[in-house]
């Protein structure tokens, strides 16, 4: 009985945490405008960045990464990178999604 309770609790926790994560999607970047959007706008739209680095001339480079895996070995990886000036306004935006096809097994002879 304790095993069942533990498994049910684990599943509930996983589902609750999954609801807290904002998806990283290249379409979301279209809602940010160079010259007017701020770091706060990006964080509200995409959630907290995966990494934050200082660039040349006092710029801030924020990055969001997301990877999904499929049981068959395929999946996708999306990286959004936004560069903000000293004034906190968006200077540059990029998004790249890489798709890995699933593994295909040859039929047994």
Residues 6+ apart with CB under 8 A from 26: 78, 80, 95, 96, 97
The pLDDT assigned to 1 comes to 56
pLDDT under 50: residue ranges of the chain = 13-21
- Domains of the chain by residue range: 23-97
CATH tag, 23-97: 3.30.1450.10
Residue with the two structure tokens 């970047």: 29
Predicted structure pTM score: 0.67
């Amino acid at each position: 009985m304790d095993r069942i309770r533990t498994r049910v609790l684990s599943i509930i926790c996983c589902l609750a945490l999954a609801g807290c994560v904002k998806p990283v999607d290249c379409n979301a970047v279209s809602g940010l405008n160079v010259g007017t959007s701020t770091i706060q706008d990006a964080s509200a739209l995409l959630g907290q960045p995966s990494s934050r680095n200082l660039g040349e001339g006092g710029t801030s480079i924020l990055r969001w990464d997301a990877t999904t895996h499929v049981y068959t070995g395929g999946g996708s990886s999306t990286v959004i990178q936004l560069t903000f000036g000293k004034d906190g306004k968006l200077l540059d935006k990029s998004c790249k999604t890489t798709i890995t096809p699933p593994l295909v097994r040859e039929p047994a002879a």
